[in-house]
Structures are given as structure tokens and as C-alpha cells.
Structure 1
Amino acid sequence: MEEKREKGLSASQLTMMAIGSVIGGSFFLGSSVAIHSAGPSIIISYILGGILVYFILFALSEMTANNPGAGSFKGFAAAAYGQGAGFITGWVYWTGMILAMSSEATAISILVKNWFPNISTTIVGTSIIVGVTLVNLLGASRLSKLESSLAGVKLITIVAFILMALLLILGLIKGTTTGGTVNYTRPAFLSEPFFANGFRGLAGSMLIIMFAYAGFEVVGLAASEARQPKVTVPKAIRKIVVLLLSLYIISVGVLLFLIPTNDIREDTSPMVAVLNRFGFGWAGTVLNIVLITAILSTMLASMFGLGRMIRSLADEGQAPGFLKDKKEVPYKGIVFSGICMLLGLFIGLLLPQVYLFLISAGGFSSLFTYAMIMASHIHFRKKHGKPEDKLRLAGFPYSSLFVLLCLIAAIACMPFIKGQGDGLIAGLAILGFYGISYFFMKLFQKARGEKKSSYRPEQRFQYEISKELSETDKESDNSANKNKKREDS
């Protein structure tokens, strides 16, 4: 066991895996929707989102390190609120991620078609999903190396944008357009209200920002494969939160200095919008390439978590028996998840309206999962008390309750935000589907159990008793015969 831990994932590998999972299309492209909704107050949303991520990560890692046998946040939900809660949490998370990743494959296909118009979306999307599945079959160690490389590309791109923006703000470089030189004059955010659309705009951006942070939970799923988890995981959490907050806040901060939020279109990356404003037209091509690597990186890290979630469900008898896998790499869960992603891709191509309705539930599944993590942590602390080591969430119970209330408020605000009402309806429908599925699964298991108990156990018990008695009788008869022979002789 000790040898395995020495070969496990380091804090840096866990950090890069989480960064790779989090920083994807939702940041490079989706952040424009959040910025348009909140205006300059988007900074508050990113800071609050980072604080929530810190608390959720620490709560999840505290439970994982002090009870590694639980398997995942699904296991903690089951321990706190029963097997039904664990079943629903695990499958809702898995379903949301499968839908989200199949849509990411579609997004890459669309980006590739910009350069190769005649290429088939189906072929590109299928190739991407198959490739991501095969890479995950190589194991956590090899995956983390590739994930670190792809995450590195994203980090370099964001840092390069920040440096370029700072040079523009300081006047060390000047933009050029067909009309001549473009000079930076004054902060753009001073020309508009800080809260562009009031509290509703801030709440709407908060919901989107939580999607931009989504994916960090892969650290909790990977904690069991970490090297010395109680030392490695806390280091990884601090690195992840500091990196994400720094990159998100600084990049959005310099962006607000350079372009009014009203000039950012919802279908364009805000980084591209800024660079185009100052005449750097080549930025679109570069950002599209980086966006593809960002999505691939997110898919690789997400598949890592999906395979382990399926294994956890199968071990508890809450997934088909053929998905049980005792190997270190959950091959069956990974392949099964890859096949389901392909099905999601084909549904999206054949029934786009139905698929768009389902895909909007992705945000709901993330918020629901995080809410269950915090609710489970409250129960975990009440039952086990405060851990002695440093891997524990500070400020309990107020910190846990604060995060839980924020997540519930975000879910409750979904109907009031453009495009998110369908997400709430679809999310509740998926929740209801798995609730009914669990009910029928228990009925089926109970029927099988009653049948077994009324025949096999009792018959086996009676058989074993009669066998023991008959063997005793035989021994008695044998001993009696031996004594009789001795007397005769």
C-alpha cells in the first residue's frame, strides 16, 4: 500500500488535472454571457465563486481523506442521507457530465469546420470522443502528463493575454486599425454602472460563473489515487484556488479596463473582442486553437472522474453488474461512459431540440452535486466531529451553511435568468427519473432477496445441519464398529 502511495499523484499533478478540467470553453467563450449580464460587478461574482469553490473543495477533501472507503461524494451522500441519496447524486452528476462532454465534442467539430468546411461533424465528434476514451484507458499517471501539457497551453494563453492587456493599459504597446493607431485612454468600466443589470444581473452571472468553475470536483474523485492524501490534497486545493482566482480575476479585471461590457457580444470570446478592438485580428485564430485544446483538456479530466463514478456506483450494486471493475484503472466504466457520450452526440445531431433541452440541465447537475457535498459535510462533522489534522474546513458550521444556502439560491434563481429556466425543468426531470429508477431498483432487489431468503438460505442451513448430524452419526457408527471389532478380537 505504501509503495502505491509513493507512486500516486502529486499535488502538482492534481492541480494541473483540476485546472485542465475547470478552464474550458465556459471561460474562454461562456464568460462573455456572464460579463454582459453583470457588467463590471462580474468581479464580485468571480471572487464569490472562488470562495465557494475553496469551501466545497475542502469539505469534499476532508471527507475523502478521513473516510477513503466511501469512494466519492456519492458515497458521502449515501452515508449521510441513505442509499437513495447516493444513487441519485451519482447518476445525476454522471448524466450531466456525459451531456456536457458530448456537447463539447460538438463544439470542437464546429470549430474545426471553420477551417475545413467539408468535414463531417459526426466523424470529428466521434473521433474526439473515441480518442479521449482511449487516452483515459492508459491510467492516471499517463493521463496526468498529457493533461498537464494541455493545461499548460491554457495557462500560457491566459498569462499572455494578461501581459498584453497590461502593456496596452500602460501604453507600452499601441493598437492599430484601418483608421490608424488606437491608444488606450481611460478605464472602460468608468463609462457604465458597476451593477449593469442590478441584483438580477449579478445573480445570473453568479450562476454562469459557477459553471465556469465546474470540474474541480475531480480532485475529490482522484484523492484516493494521490500520494499521501492528507498532505498532498490540501496543497493541491490551495494551489487550485489561488491559481483559478488569480487567473480569472486578473484576466477579467484587465479586460474591463480595455472594453465596455456592452461591446462584448455573447457569441464571441471577450479576449478576442478586446484584441480585435485594438487591431490584433490574428487573435481569433489563435484563440480558436487554444479553445480546442481547452475543451480537449476538460474532456480528458472529466472522463477520468466519470469512469471512477461508474465504478463506485457498480461496487454498491447501483449500476449494472457488468460495470464492476477491481482493476486500478476502471476500464469498464470509462468505455461505458465513452459509448454514452457517443449516444449523446448522435442524439444531438438527430434531435437537436430535445438535446438542447437536456444539455441545459448540465448546470443544474453541477449545482445539485455541490449542494449535496455541503449537506453531506454537515452530517459528516456532526457524526465524526472535528478532524485532528489540518485537512479540515474552517469556520464550521457557518461556512458549510453559507455555501449550501448560496447554492440553493443559485438553483432557485434559474427561472429568472434567460435560458436557464429550461435547465431547471430538465434538471428536475432527470432528478425525478433517477428517483423513480431507484424505487423500482429497490423493488427488484427486494423481490430477488425474498426469493433467495425463502429458498436458498434456509435450505442451505438445513442441509448443513443435516450434513453435520449425518457426519456425526457416521463418526459414532464408525467408532462403535471399531470398538466392537476390538472386543471381538
Structure 2
Amino acid sequence: MSKEGELSVWHLTMLALGTVVGGSFFLGSAIAIRTAGPGIIISYLLVGVLVYIILTALSEMTVAEQLPGSFRTYAEQMFGPLVGFVVGWVYWTGLILAMSSEATAASLLIKSWLPTSSLSLTSILIIIGVTFLNLLGAKILTTLESGLALIKLSAIVAFILIGIALILGLVPNKTAIGLGALTTEPLLPTGISGIAGSMLIVMFTYAGFEMIGLAASEAEDARSTIPRAINYTVLGLVGLYSLAIVVLLPLIPTAGLTEEVGPFVAALNRVGINWVANIINIILIIAILSTMLAAMFGLGRMVRSLAKEGSAPSWLKDKGDIPFRGIIFSGISMLAGVGLAYILPSEIYVFLVSSGGFSLLFVYVIIMATHYKFRKNKGCPPSGNCQLRGYPTTSLFALFFLIAIIVSMPLVPGQGSGLIAGLLLVAFYSLSYIFIKVYSLIKSNEEISLIKLLGIEKLNKKENTRQRNMSIKSLKPATNWEVSEELVINKSDTKKSKQ
């Protein structure tokens, strides 16, 4: 690891935005908008508040301790090695499967321009390129990621400006749209259920912001850099997303949106600006590649953290600034994920890939549960820097909100399989940890017990030590007399002993 951080507020913010702003917003948001109608703006604002709470909670823990593995390591500290093992590997597996499908999606977009290109070969080349760029180091990668993120953000800003011009009638030969489609649509065409049904997909459009935590140990002056980067990330995301949706709504009826065409392309096509479709496709490819680059950054560091704690094979340990082995291992695993698409029946492959969304939501639940216990045990970070106001209410609100989103997954078409696949993933890694632990105890001739399997004895020792330290700090003499008479050697007794 770097002794001195290289990543500035700008790098961290662009890394987070590069991970978050991807195909789920440019393409997948159409389903959420159609489900909630114009009320989708409420969904984006509500989830924006949720993202702020989660990121601020993560920031508090990061300010207190900059540790490799971020949320995985904090979870292990609070709940034991089983939780740390499971959350680390579930996050890694979910991202690997999701990014494998993203590589395939990018290949399909490229094939629309190059019909003779091979889907499998293009996917392989994309993954190799993403892996190689990550091997160049955090500073070079985040500089590149900043450029790609700027392109994506500029595309959103351009859409907002074009939309405002269309609404106000500033485009030559175009009549002012005004409120347009909004005049014929109710705010909540399907009621509150529409808002609830859109929450999961809206959450996915924000997903990936946890990358700031994984980069924290490589940030310069993390205690001031991380909170600022988080504030800029949240303000940037909520601001741009909300403005883009507000501008979109007058341009096209929400019921007319489909998952085949992105909402921005559909809106501009409807008003006669057809040439924008190809540009948006280019932006979409850039968005996917940018997301893959940032995801690989986090995957390599997660593997290094797991290996360091003995939760991954020892040959994956890395001592340098760049987690070469973790990155290469993740790259090979992505290639294997692409291979599965051609080996397994399509239904099974889609089932596996759908676990990616659950994996991220699972991580966010763990972050909030960890923060609740972390703050309860350790209080505020150094210098009393309590960033998350309203604790514990805010932590519990976010925790229950996230659980509600997970429970609602079967209500969204195509997401029920994601919940099942995700739960199976959690069960698989839980059983894997227990099997490894049992084998280790048998090998060392130790007694097998539930406490040892869960690693609770380590947590108990830490808790007892913490309480003992607190007790020692609280021991104070009641009066000066107690100090002079009981704790200090009496001079007259010393004289008598000399005689």
C-alpha cells in the first residue's frame, strides 16, 4: 500500500461517478420512469437521500480508520470473520458476473457498427484492456477514469441543455414544448405502488458509490478528502439525475418508454432529433467501459483485503501499491464469466448474472448494520467528527429502507431471480467459510464449537479489552488524601526501615 496517498478529492469523486453513471441510467432507467410516471422524480430524490446516508456512514468509519477492504474489514471488526468473509466474496462475485455481462453488452453495441466482429473476441479484448489499464496504478487509472466520467457527465448536461432549449422554444424551427406531456399525465398514474416499484431500479442507477471506501487507503489526507469527495459525489449525482428527469418528462409520455430504447434517445427521437441516437450509443459504450474500469479497481483491492485476512488463497497476497494478483485474478474470473455465457443455457446464465444487483444491496445493508454497531461501540471518529446526523434514527431508517427494497425485488419483473440467486450466493459462501473453518480446526486438533466457527471468541476478547480499558481510564482517586496516604510511600516508614 502507498505510504502517502495519491488520490485527490477530484480523483475520488470522478472514480465514484465513473462507477455509478453507467448503462443502468442511460438505458435501464426507462423501466423505472414508465413504472412511476412523472412521480419518478420523488424516487430519485428519496434514493438520493438514502445514498447520502450510506456514504456518510461509510465516511465516518473511513475517517476513523483507513483500512484495506473498507466496508468488508469494518464488518469483520464488528461482526466477526464469517460476515467479513461472506460480504467480501458476495460483493466480488456479484461484480464479476455483472461486469462479465457488461462486457457482452458493450460487444453487442460495437457489433451494431461492425457486423462481422466476433462477440466473444470483442468481450475478451475489452476485459484484457480493462485489466491491463488497472495494472498501471491508481493515479493513472483515476486520471483516465476522470476523463471518461467527464464525457458521460457532459452527455447528461448536453441532454439537459437541449431539453431546456426545446421546452423554451430556443431551437430554430421547433415550437416551444412547454409542459408538453406533463399536461396529460397525472403525477402518480399508478399511485404509491409505482414509486415503490421503481425504487429498486433507481437504486441500481446509483449503485457503485461504495468505490470511494475501497480507494480510501490510497487517498491523500483521507480524513478531509473522503468527506469532501462524498459530498461532491452525492450532490453531483442527485443534481444531474434529478435535472435530467425533470427535463425529460415534458418531452415524452412516460407510458411510451420501453426497455429496448434509452429514455433520452426516445425523447429526442420523438421531437425529431434523430441523429442523437448514434452519439448516445457511443456514450453508452464509454459508460460501460468506465464502469468496468472502476469496478476492476475495487475488485483487485477487495481480493487483496481477503487474502491479507486469510479469507482467500495466500498466493493472492500483494505487498506493493498495486494489487497485481488481485487484479489479474479478477480479470481471469471475468473471462470465465464471459465463457459461461456460451457454455451454460441462457436461462441459467441470466439467473447467475442477476445476483449482481442483490450483491450491491446486500453490501449496503451490511454497511449500515456495521455503522450502527461501530458508532455504538466507538462513538464518533477522531476530533468528534460526527458526519451522520440523527444517529441512530438515520442509520436504522436506511437499514430498513434497504431491506424493504430487497424484499420488493420479486415485485419487479425479472428481479425475483436476482433475489433467489443472491440468497443462494450468501448461503454458498457461508457454508464455504464453515467448511474451511472446520477443516482448519480438525487439522490443528482443536475442539469444534459454534463460537470458534463464527469467530465470536475474538470479538469477545476485543470487547472485554475495550471495556477493561474504559474501566482503567475511569479509575480516579476520590481525594488528595487517598493519593498521599495510600498510593505514595510514607517517608517515616522509609526512615524506620533504614534504621
Q: If the length of structure 1 is used for normalisation, what is the TM-score?
A: 0.89
Partner of 2:404: 409
Change (3 A) 1:94 1:278: same
Supply the distance in 2 between the matched residues of 1:50 and 1:226 (Cα, whole angstroms): 24
Q: 1:71 aligns with which of 51, 54, 69?
A: 69
Q: Which residue of structure 2 lines up, in the alignment, with residue 264 of structure 1?
A: 257
1:396 aligns with 2:394: no
Deviation at 1:185, TM superposition (A): 4.6
Alignment deviations for residues 292-311 of structure 1 (CA, whole Å, 9 cap, x no partner): 00110000001000000001
SS at match of 1:157: helix
User: CA–CA distance in 2 between the matches of 1:355 and 1:24?
Assistant: 21
Q: Distance in 1 between matches of 2:229 and 2:178?
A: 40
**How far apart in 2 are the matches of 1:198 and 1:439?**
46
Displacement of 1:264 in angstroms is 1.3
Range 221-230 or range 194-203, more displaced:
194-203
Separation in structure 2 between the aligned mates of residue 94 and residue 232 of structure 1, nearest angstrom: 26
Report the Cα distance in structure 2 between the residues aligned to 1:52 and 1:59, rounded to whole angstroms: 11
The Cα of 1:155 is off from its aligned counterpart by 1.1
- Within 5 Å, give how 1:202-351 maps onto structure 2: 202-351=195-344
Partner of 2:189: 196
Opposite residue 357 of structure 1, the aligned amino acid is F
Deviation at 1:187, TM superposition (A): 3.2
Structure 2 counterpart of 1:278, one-letter code: V
Deviations 1:381-437 (A, max 9, x none): 111012334363221101100000000000111112211111111111111111110
- In the alignment, is the contact (CA less than 8 A) between 2:257 and 2:266 conserved in 1? yes
Structure 1 unaligned regions, length at least 5: 176-180, 452-489
- Alpha-carbon offset, residue 198 of structure 1: 2.5
Larger deviation, residues 249-258 vs 194-203: 194-203
2:377 is matched with which residue: 383, 387, 394? 383
Deviation by residue 1:445-484 (Cα, 9 ceiling, x = unmatched): 2123228xxxxxxxxxxxxxxxxxxxxxxxxxxxxxxxxx
1:436 aligns with 2:419: no
Q: Distance in 2 between matches of 1:68 and 1:214?
A: 22
Instruction: Name segments (4+ residues, structure 1) moved above 6 Å.
Output: none
Map of 2:361 onto structure 1: 367
Secondary structure, aligned partner of 2:112: helix
SS of match in other structure, 1:38: helix
2: CA distance, partners of 1:278 / 1:361:
37
3-state DSSP of counterpart to 1:74: helix
SS in 2 for 1:215: coil
Kept in 2, the 8 Å contact 1:230–1:391? The answer is: no
Quote the offset at 1:70 in angstroms.
6.0
- Residue aligning to 1:43: 41
C-alpha contact (below 8 Å) 1:162/1:250 kept by paired residues: yes
Displacement of 1:193: 2.2
1:12 alignment partner in structure 2: 10
How far residue 190 of structure 1 moved from its aligned partner, in angstroms, is 2.9
Q: 1:319 to 1:211 in 2, by over 3 A?
A: same
Q: Which amino acid aligns with 1:275?
A: L
Contact 1:102–1:345 (Cα < 8 Å) also in 2: yes
User: Residue 124 of structure 2 corresponds to which residue in structure 1?
Assistant: 126
CA distance in 1, matches of 2:189, 2:399: 27
Moved more, 183-192 or 287-296: 183-192
Q: What is the CA distance between 1:278 and its match in structure 2? A: 1.0
The answer on 1:24 being equivalent to 2:22 is yes
Deviation at 1:174, TM superposition (A): 5.0
386-395 or 115-124: bigger deviation: 386-395
Among 351, 354, 375, the residue aligned to 1:357:
351
Asked if 1:117 is matched to 2:127, the reply is no
Q: Please name the residue that 1:56 is paired with.
A: 54
Deviations 1:9-56 (A, max 9, x none): 100110001000000000100110110111111101111111111111
* CA distance, structure 1, for counterparts of residue 56 and residue 418 of structure 2: 28
C-alpha separation between the residues in 2 aligned to 1:264 and 1:287? 16
Gaps of 5+ in 2: 447-499
CA deviation vs aligned residue, 1:267-294 (integer Å, no higher than 9, x gap): 1110001110111111110000010001
Compute the displacement of 1:266 (Å): 1.7
* 1:450 lines up with 2:448 in the alignment: no
Contact 1:57 1:217 in 2 (8 A): yes
> Which residue in 2 is equivalent to 1:93?
91
Alignment: residue pair count: 445
How far residue 73 of structure 1 moved from its aligned partner, in angstroms, is 0.6
C-alpha deviation, 1:71, in angstroms = 3.4
Q: What whole-Å deviation, never above 9, does each CA across 1:329-373 have from its counterpart, x for those lacking one?
A: 100000000011011111112222211001111111111100000
Checking the alignment, whether the CA contact within 8 Å between 1:61 and 1:223 is kept in structure 2 is: no
Contact 2:68 2:301 (8 Å CA) reproduced: no
Q: 1:64–1:70: 8 Å Cα contact kept in structure 2? A: no
Aligned equivalents of 1:339, 1:204: Cα separation in 2: 36
Is contact 2:170–2:176 with CA below 8 Å preserved after alignment?
no
Letter in structure 1 aligned against 2:423: L
Contact 1:20 1:298 in 2 (8 A): yes
Rounded Cα–Cα distance in structure 2 between residues aligned with 1:69 and 1:24: 28
Q: 1-side partners of 2:153 and 2:170: how far apart?
A: 23
Q: C-alpha separation between the residues in 2 aligned to 1:153 and 1:343?
A: 30
Which whole-Å CA distance do the structure 1 matches of 2:63 and 2:341 have between them?
39
Q: Note if 1:152 corresponds to 2:146.
A: no
Give 1 or 2 for the bigger CA radius of gyration. Answer: 1
1:192 deviation in Å?
1.7
